[in-house]
Structure 1
């Protein structure tokens, strides 16, 4: 193995680097509330805020820091135009489903904008146009079909052949009146208002157990509990599987690079294409009058591929097509794609009476999280009828799941491949001694697979290579210095600590001293 070469830019999300957040205490005593929300991202915080606004006592339990997980690493587009979703929905779910999807997503755009105005939140909200475009002429028909399907679904969408991108396109769907913003500034303000309304927020309080009943009970790794009439699981990828959700979600990571650009040369809208390995583009205002161009793409399953090469490709694409300065930031975001395209928001499973879930936003968590807050609040409080699109998002939907059987089988075949084949793979590292500084590898030591990382100073850290979720073998992501599970997307630090679920337990520490000496 060779020592990893450096990548351009600061290894941090701009949203994270540009905001300071007040700390909230961990859960140190047993508490009782009306509703407990597991997860402090956009879905969890939106739900908790809506519930507190409706007069419910609420507790949010976050494993790390609020608005610092997936939400802190998003692209932060707030749009009802989701690449080519409407053509697919019309084919697989029918025209009415596409209409309900469009109505609910645009409603979420307007709801977020209304909250920003009502709460006077300084989160750089800008109303802009969204574009789904193609550069390959062979993709033009799909773009025209999408424009027609989106318009038929009720959106004011149109087909265009020109944009303000600095390169030619084959065609695009345009939707005006969408938005982009600073997600952390928004959610931190929402959290402050939640607390002011009597809501409780507990950070560094990882939930490890859920007992359903009347009431429900959550337990944390610190052996503290929250008793609540209702529980919402909004952990991005559910940490509990009560409705075959693991079989209906596919995790993927996307890389992000960002660089300053003169304001008058920055694209005015938000753009996404499935061409060229997928590319998503937007910009955000900087304090010096310039803007930050944010480019996303190069998606891959966690624990697979070569993220360093992917970062280089994405960075090269940005510099070749836009007059940007040196790369300032790089980061990665993780999303979960549902097997039938539509997020899963509603009762956790067919027998659920007081447990709910919000997941599977497929890369569009800003509108999805706001939508989840409104939908779950209506279901929990019963103060008003659920919105007409509630059934579309219901996790218990069976007919849609059966229609998507090929996708389900494909996802599970991929999981099975990793579960079996990764155990048969012969590693290219024979011993711990072969691992250079800054690198990591799975090594067999005394008959056990160990995930071993060597720090730049030579310090070796070894943990079990078996993911604590369902036992798949992890792989090392050099670009982000993390162990990743390719089966369901759990991520771990080099010390074995859980960075991202669904795993809730750390990787076991291992002793590889003898192999290191050898």
Structure 2
């Protein structure tokens, strides 16, 4: 077992316990040296890695291009559950898409769970893979009807689902849906091994290479922030939130963040099943091997829109819930994850836009990106090699049912509009800068505009444009991670303005001072 830092670390256990090798950046060069491949995959999370690997396994020449490090974004901050039972998904899908859609969804998700086991066995990957039952449970009688309905809907969709009142949680539940033989694993151990096998099969991997532009043609052309280029017959975009506006998916995606707390428990005190309840603003529980007779209890919850409300307060609620429900749990790690929800509860995996012939996208996994990412690899590899799977059309992004989706679309766009227009008349005056504590941040009005101001631990001020470089919404400060976040589409920026998470690809503009006589703590203008 890897030696890990002691104490309560503001870091992902998956990242700390499996650092992984580094891969080179895509370097700029003359036209004659521009790499050319059959398929370029943009985004090195589970969807991108699995897609690149499946295509390489099918004999295609593949390049995988990641803006940061492989499996370090949403994939490196997951709870790492592989389950075809996904909260209350089946009654929602049946209502929005029909019985056949629910059946195909169940079959595709179950296939993804089994696919991880087959790949791990084939390649000999030690990734802490464990088979375990999955549960969606209710503690209150108010939620029990929805849980019973999910048991019926999941069974009708083809899963071996049943209603039960028995779990291995250390507290009583009113009832739960149970689906046996699901799985949990260490995602980075699995994916870093997959990346190594991708390279062994002739695939190329480029890290620290942020794709900025896509030219669709014959071939397609990609350009990066450093001016590097690559040509490809086909392009797949798996960047969580799509980075290209032409996808026409922005009005149909809702972004949410969730918090994760990981605590150490004795082996005999940790649940072996995987649990989720929609109550208490969502609570997800599972445990992972931790060595020396211990397991790591992983608790997720506090779902929220990025940039809205105190994140520290949400962490406090989640930690308090964990300690109450699991006495003796010793918090060791905390981190946050972000994902996107579609308006009809089914991810988008397929052509990037209605006119696309050689560009594809995968997004909208609604917190189930582990099975969604594995599914993406299988689905797109089948599509690009002429062997489509039975559920290919189910996930096609070009689908639109105005009757069923319009209410959700209107609610989502109403939320975005409230932030886009309402935030412009909010924000403190520039005099409020003096009230920003060390480590804190605030959006302040300067003349007719707003600036995002952070005070570091030494008291120095860091001023940025508060306008997200994606579509211009105003960012807000995350007091737990000390980042700037866009509530409209989830772009995230470091306090120096650099992009941490898209869809934005350009950094926030930096200022030397606040433009009104405010500057650093010693009266000196600073950036």
Could you say what secondary structure the match of 1:516 adopts? Answer: coil
* Residue 454 in structure 1 maps to residue 455 in structure 2: yes
Could you say what secondary structure the match of 1:369 adopts? Answer: helix
Distance 1:243 1:18 in 2: 36
Equivalent residue number for residue 59 of structure 1: 63
CA deviation after TM superposition for structure 1 residue 430, in Å: 2.5
Residues 227-306 of structure 1 mapped to structure 2, 5 A cutoff? 227-306=231-310
Instruction: Flag as ranges the 4+ runs of structure 1 deviating above 4 A.
Output: none
- 1:434–1:84: structure 2 CA closer, same or farther, 3 Å change rule? same
CA deviation after TM superposition for structure 1 residue 402, in Å: 4.4
- 1:426–1:455: structure 2 CA closer, same or farther, 3 Å change rule? closer
Equivalent residue number for residue 134 of structure 1: 138
Question: What does the per-residue CA deviation read over 1:110-151, in whole Å, with 9 as the maximum and x for residues that have no partner?
Answer: 111100111111100000000000011111111111101101
CA contact (8 A) 1:39 1:60 kept: yes
Equivalent residue number for residue 170 of structure 2: 166
Out of 387, 390, 397, the residue aligned to residue 388 of structure 1 is 390
Question: What does the per-residue CA deviation read over 1:86-112, in whole Å, with 9 as the maximum and x for residues that have no partner?
Answer: 111112211111100000000000111
Could you say what secondary structure the match of 1:420 adopts? Answer: helix
Distance 2:473 2:462 in 1: 20
Gaps of 5+ in 1: 1-7
* Residue 201 in structure 1 maps to residue 205 in structure 2: yes
Equivalent residue number for residue 441 of structure 1: 442
CA deviation after TM superposition for structure 1 residue 19, in Å: 1.1
CA contact (8 A) 2:427 2:445 kept: no
Question: What does the per-residue CA deviation read over 1:26-57, in whole Å, with 9 as the maximum and x for residues that have no partner?
Answer: 00042110000000000000000000001111
Count of aligned pairs between the two proteins: 508
CA deviation after TM superposition for structure 1 residue 397, in Å: 0.7
- 1:282–1:220: structure 2 CA closer, same or farther, 3 Å change rule? same
After superposition, the CA RMSD in angstroms is 1.2
CA contact (8 A) 2:322 2:329 kept: no
CA contact (8 A) 1:349 1:395 kept: yes
Could you say what secondary structure the match of 1:456 adopts? Answer: coil
Gaps of 5+ in 2: 1-6, 29-33
Could you say what secondary structure the match of 1:432 adopts? Answer: helix
Could you say what secondary structure the match of 1:108 adopts? Answer: helix
Equivalent residue number for residue 150 of structure 1: 154
Equivalent residue number for residue 493 of structure 2: 492
TM-score by length of 2: 0.95
Distance 2:437 2:389 in 1: 56
CA deviation after TM superposition for structure 1 residue 459, in Å: 2.1
TM-score by length of 1: 0.96
Equivalent residue number for residue 516 of structure 1: 519
Could you say what secondary structure the match of 1:449 adopts? Answer: strand
Equivalent residue number for residue 3 of structure 1: none
CA deviation after TM superposition for structure 1 residue 325, in Å: 3.4
Distance 1:286 1:414 in 2: 41
- 1:320–1:429: structure 2 CA closer, same or farther, 3 Å change rule? farther
CA contact (8 A) 2:214 2:223 kept: yes
CA contact (8 A) 2:429 2:446 kept: no
Question: What does the per-residue CA deviation read over 1:452-491, in whole Å, with 9 as the maximum and x for residues that have no partner?
Answer: 1111111221111000000000000011100000000000
CA contact (8 A) 1:257 1:331 kept: yes
Equivalent residue number for residue 14 of structure 1: 13
Out of 334, 352, 365, the residue aligned to residue 330 of structure 1 is 334
Worse-matched range after superposition: 423-432 or 140-149: 423-432
Could you say what secondary structure the match of 1:327 adopts? Answer: strand
Residues 29-428 of structure 1 mapped to structure 2, 5 A cutoff? 29=28, 30-382=34-386, 384=387, 386-399=388-401, 402-427=403-428
- 1:429–1:178: structure 2 CA closer, same or farther, 3 Å change rule? farther
CA contact (8 A) 2:44 2:71 kept: yes
Worse-matched range after superposition: 302-311 or 437-446: 437-446
CA contact (8 A) 1:445 1:515 kept: no
Question: What does the per-residue CA deviation read over 1:212-254, in whole Å, with 9 as the maximum and x for residues that have no partner?
Answer: 1111111111111110000000000000022320011010000
- 1:278–1:429: structure 2 CA closer, same or farther, 3 Å change rule? farther
Distance 1:428 1:437 in 2: 19
* Residue 475 in structure 1 maps to residue 476 in structure 2: yes
CA contact (8 A) 2:430 2:446 kept: no
CA contact (8 A) 2:234 2:359 kept: yes
Distance 2:413 2:83 in 1: 31
CA contact (8 A) 1:36 1:232 kept: yes
CA contact (8 A) 1:265 1:323 kept: no
Question: What does the per-residue CA deviation read over 1:285-308, in whole Å, with 9 as the maximum and x for residues that have no partner?
Answer: 012220000000001000101111
